[in-house]
Homo-oligomer: A and B are copies of this chain.
Amino acid sequence: MAARKIINDPVHGFINIEHPLIVNIISHPWYQRLRRIHQMALAYLVYPGATHTRLLHSLGAYHLMCQAVNDIKSKGATITKEEDVAVKAAILLHDIGHGPFSHALENVLIPGVNHEELSIQIMHKMNAHLSNELDTAICIFTNQYHKPFLHQLISSQLDVDRMDYLTRDSFFTGVSEGVIGYARILKMLVVHDNQLLVEEKGIYSVEKFLVARRQMYWQVYLHKTVLACERMLVKIIERAREIKAESTSQSLNMFLHHVFNKEAIFELLDEFCRLDDYDVISSIKEWANNKDKVLSVLCKNLLERNLFKCRLQTTPFDEDVIQEKRKKAAQALNISIEEAAYFVFTGEAVNTTYALGDDEHINILFKDETVRDISKVDNPLIHQTLSMPVKKFYICELR
């Protein structure tokens, strides 16, 4: 990879890569691995265009970071050359800890460790490969740097991560409800007392952003069939683990069939970084012929897109109804009632449009220099109701 590079992104156009550190990160095998992890897990079974990868998303977030840094600099924020490249390195690596099918299998494949923790560990290990050039990036990423706004660009209610994934997921799914005016939001960002704020005239763009997020959740991320796909995937992993089904991938076998504590996992990062969506799908293809009926039916159905029927409602499902359905499934498949729980089960999906109680506020800088939360402006769109988590109950069952 040459020192100066232009990458074609269908969403943002040309992405410029200039700094040698950025080039080195992108060239690293662990970063390239993100090409083999779908950004939206199995959502492509519902939105067939949504086959984009974690790599493309993180490149896109990097591109927005370049713009954000330019925009806030032009309004007087001081960002040194070192901070400039560090914050870009950090955003490139923010998702490096994702495993196969990212959120869908998070805490399933490797229980007890989330992707942020893994990202930090992997950054540390890459830092060793890269002569400690990631020191500042890690410091910003873990919010230990003395300029909090740099961390907020990476992780906050209005970070470039969300701006990219909403825009990108909207683009690839074709769901126009998620389109946000990120160019305008970026132009409205401003640094005040080392905090990232939004100028008053940006209020409507931020509202739009929050509403777009709400809509992408209900229409895409928590879409009942997307939910069904992802729960099928979880059930497959659970069953494979239960019956100790061997995968053709040795790396997958290691995490599937052994229990590690956190420290042990952090010693296995090389192994972890060999995992991607291909290990899982190939195993599923193999398991479709497994002699265990539960496993083989789940796998075959996922591959052939015979997906669970899924229903969402605001109240929990009746236990009797569930048992009745399980009985039927057990009979239909000639399996035990316990095994039928793989085919009929319930759960909860939660979404919060804007968390008031959270320490992640969106603060507006008014012309009179006062700072207020966006839910405290005149005639707010973002109100009490939207700031409480919305819980929905779902039931999945064999069709």
Contact = CB atoms under 8 A, between A and B. Distances in A.
Interface of A: 6-11, 13-14, 27, 29, 32, 35-36, 44-45, 47-49, 51-53, 55-56, 59, 171-177, 179-181, 183-184, 187, 204-205, 207-208, 211-212, 214-215, 218-219, 248-249, 274, 278-279, 281-282, 285-286, 303-305, 314, 378-381, 383, 385-386, 390
Contacts of A14: 183-184, 187
Contacts of A13: 174, 183
Q: How many copies does the complex hold?
A: 4
Most buried by B among A7, A36, A174: A174
A200 to B, nearest CB: 11
A282 B36 CA distance: 11
B274 A208 contact: no
Contacts of A285: 249, 274, 278-279
A399 to B, nearest CB: 10
B8 A173 contact: yes
A379 B351 CA distance: 11
27 contacts: A6-B187, A8-B49, A8-B174, A10-B49, A10-B173, A10-B174, A32-B304, A32-B305, A35-B44, A35-B48, A48-B53, A48-B59, A49-B52, A176-B180, A176-B181, A176-B184, A177-B184, A177-B208, A204-B215, A204-B218, A207-B215, A208-B211, A248-B286, A249-B282, A249-B286, A314-B378, A381-B386
A59 B49 CA distance: 11
Nearest to A30: B304
A48 B214 contact: no
Given A13-B183, A48-B59, 18 more contacts: A6-B187, A13-B174, A14-B183, A35-B48, A48-B56, A49-B56, A51-B51, A175-B181, A176-B179, A179-B179, A207-B215, A208-B211, A214-B381, A249-B285, A379-B385, A379-B390, A380-B385, A383-B383
Nearest to A379: B390
Contact of A48 (B55, B180, B279): B55
Shortest beta-carbon contacts, A-B, top 5: A248-B248, A10-B174, A282-B282, A176-B181, A8-B174
A379 B172 CA distance: 28
Contacts of A44: 35, 53
A324 to B, nearest CB: 21
